[in-house]
Each structure stands twice: as structure tokens, then as C-alpha cells.
Amino acid sequence: MQTTKELLEFIEMSPSPFHVVDNISKRLEKKGFIALQEGETWTLKRNHQYYVSRNGSSMIAFKIGEHLENYSFNMVASHSDSPVFKVKEHAEIQFKDRYTSLNTEGYGGMILSSWLDRPLSIAGRALVQVGDHFESKLVNIDQDLMVIPNVAIHMNRTINDGFKYNQQIDMMPLLAGGNFKEGDYTKLIAQSLNVDPLAICGLDMFVYHRTKPTLFGIHQEFIASPKLDDLQCAFATLLGFIDGENEHGINVYCCFDNEEVGSSTRQGAASTFLYDTLTRINQSLGFTQEDYHRALASSMMLSCDNAHAVHPNHPEKTDMTNHVYMNEGVVVKSHASQRYTSDGLSVGLIKHYAKEAGIPLQFFANRSDAPSGGTLGNISSTKVSVMSVDLGLPQLAMHSSYESAGVQDTEAMRTLLRVFFSHHLLMQGNRFFIQ
């Protein structure tokens, strides 16, 4: 329960990917991690721990062991973003000086109806001119600022008959009434930062759901919260990464942005961020390119992104034999076309780690007549090719603005990751040694 409470606090403090990375950075710094900058020279030491961010919305942290004669990388990946609405430039939409709405567009595949008639606000970052330079600053308007109002059933009699929402028409948040003046939106952000509105040069702002995370169920066995996909995995794997100790290798924690829109950005899993970081670690520690390739051959990645639990109202949506439930363990995901990266080797190894951790595993596969989404593992492996397994935590209503999951599962993932990060994997031909 303590881990669950910490998770819900973490989510509430993380209304945008920029806040996610900032909160992870603060937690790492308290544990003695040293911040690195991509634009500076790295001088790394064994038995030290570091982190680096890109774009302020993606993060890679790593712990370097002491005995690296046959080192490899133990890696985990999750993502910091969730399906939301992003605010456009020239955002104010005014109607006859009576209403002002905010012009937004969808980011990622979302359940649109879940955003209606809910308290909303905006968060993200601003680029601010300060004297002779520019600074990136976090923004969170911490108030119930907006609502996207539904059309009354009296005016839309087909609302319960499969109504199709138009994002440009139906999904604009109501921001203000007749007292709104042009520029008030920027002034609101400037006031939150205590800067002149004219100093704000650029904005990346997102709408977020203001309903607080909570527990529910007759025994308080479930979580309801925004952004469980994928902040539940991002948080659980972070704790396991911090807990684990591996003297014979390098433990790596990744939290990438832009997974919900394909990862093809400079800070996404399809970028060179992971490759750049691993090769710089290798070089700074005095290893050769040959050493790097040898290390990758014995390396493993856990791609951690939440999984679909059996829906109590629609069990027919689930595969006949591979179905998972909340509060019953970590999920291993497989797909014949490798939309998930798991294979017999990686699944066998994760079974070994789970057995040592005392953690039950569940196994998920899509129905054979249903498509599957891609994950971080198969995207990142195009740049850094290592053995990988896809894991997740079971949840309901994925991509809703308010999702549900199990109270016990965050701690289960943390325990599994602690065991994974406390061992060294060495592969020699068709033999696998776990130290």
C-alpha cells in the first residue's frame, strides 16, 4: 500500500512529460545520482550513478558497477507521455464576446468521451527570455481551469447511439466567459511563472485531467487515476532500478517521451538517445568499440508498458487462453508478428527472475483476429539491438483520461525489477549464465 500511495502522489505531481522527468530527476538526486549534460564532456567512474535527460521529457539513468571485465547492460524502458490534448498556437477561440474556448488537438489515441464534463487544466513548459539567454521553465496552472461541456441529450438525441465526436468541434475546452481579453491566456501562464508575458517565446502546453487519483473497491483493491499508462510502469521500474545493485554490469533506466505518437522524435525510443548514451558510457570508461558490441551480446531490455486486463463487462475481447487480471502479477506480452519483442529465450529468463523474486507472472496475447499495438522494445531495438521481453501491469480503460489498475501490481513490478537489476547476465553461444 505504501508503494501505491507513492505512485499516486507521483502521478498527481506529473501533469506533463516534462514534470515526469523533473520528478524522476529529483528522486534520483536524493539517491546520489549525478546529473550529466549531453553538451558537456562526460568523465564517468566505476561504482558511480548518473542520469541525463533530452528535451526535458526523456530520461536515461545508469549505475556503473565495479567489476566490469565481462560487462553488459541490464536495461528497462517505459514512457513518460499519455494521450492528451495539446494546446495550439493562437489558442483563444472567442464566440460573440460571451465564451472563450481553447484551441487544442489530440495527441495520441484517446477515448474522447472520457474528457467531457471533467475539471481540466494545462501544464507543460515555457521558453522564457531572461536577459541575454533563454530558459525552459515548467508550467502547471494548479486550478480547475476548464471543462469540455457535453451537448445536452435534448439537443443530441443520438448521444447514446454511437455518437462520433469531432475533435475540432466537440472537444474544445471552455476557458472563460465574457470578461476574457485577448492575451489573458498568455498572462495566466506568465503570472504562474512570475515573468513578463512578452518574455514568453514558446510554449508546449497540454490539457490534463484534474480529478485526483484514488483507491476504490470494497477492500480498496483498485486504483483509479489519470496516466496509469504508462506512469505506473515508469514509477515501479524506477524504484526497482534504484533498489538493484549489480557489481558486474551497468544498470540502465530509460523513460522515453512520444511513445503515444510513434516515438520518431529526437527524444523518442526511435531516436539515437539510448545509442548515444550507451556508447558514451563505453567510451568514457575506456572500453573499445569491440567491447561495446560484446557487451550488447549479453545485454537484455525489459520493455515495460501496461497491459489490458480482462474487462468485467466484455470478457469476449480477450484471448481464449492468455488473459490477465488486476492484482495477480506482472504481465508478459507476446505477439506472433513481434509487435511485442518477447520470445522463448527472453520469456524463459524473465520466468527465472520472477521465480527468484517470488512474483507471479501472467501471459497476455491479443485475440488472433485483433490488431496489436507496438511497444518501446521493438522500436528501440532498431538502434540498440539486444534481447528483449515485453512486460506490463494489468489495467482497464487504457487511454481513457481516468484509468483503473490493481493496488498490488506496482510493488510486484518493483520487486521483479529489483531482482533483475541485482544480477549479471552473460551469454556465451547458446549458453546463458546469471550471476
Distance CA 207, CA 36 (A): 30
Q: Which three-class secondary structure state does DSSP give residue 42? A: coil
| DSSP letter assigned to residue 422 | T
C-alpha cell at 33: 545520482
Distance CA 205, CA 104 (A): 10
β partners of residue 78: 255
Enumerate the domain spans of the chain: 2-82+226-434, 84-209
Q: Specify whether domain 2-82+226-434 bears CATH 3.40.630.10.
A: yes
Give the chain's end-to-end CA distance (angstroms, integer).
Answer: 31
Mean pLDDT of 379-400: 89
Q: How confident is the model at residue 301 (pLDDT cuts 50, 70, 90)?
A: very high
Q: What is the CA angle 238-241-242, rounded to 5?
A: 90
210's CB contacts (< 8 A; 6+ apart) are 118, 119, 120, 121, 144
Whole-number pLDDT of residue 95:
86
Say how many CA atoms lie within 13 Å of 298 toward its Cβ. Answer: 25
Whole-number pLDDT of residue 244:
95
The CATH number assigned to the domain with range 84-209 reads 2.30.250.10
pLDDT at residue 380 tops 80: no
Mean pLDDT of 323-328: 96
Tally of CB atoms within 10 A around 15: 26
pLDDT at residue 353 tops 90: yes
- pLDDT tens digits for 175-211? 998 888 888 899 999 999 999 999 999 999 999 999 9
Distance CA 363, CA 415 (A): 18
Mean pLDDT of 217-243: 96
Mean pLDDT of the chain: 93
Whole-number pLDDT of residue 420:
97
C-alpha cell at 81: 507521455
Mean pLDDT of 159-171: 92
- pLDDT tens digits for 100-121? 999 999 999 999 999 999 999 9
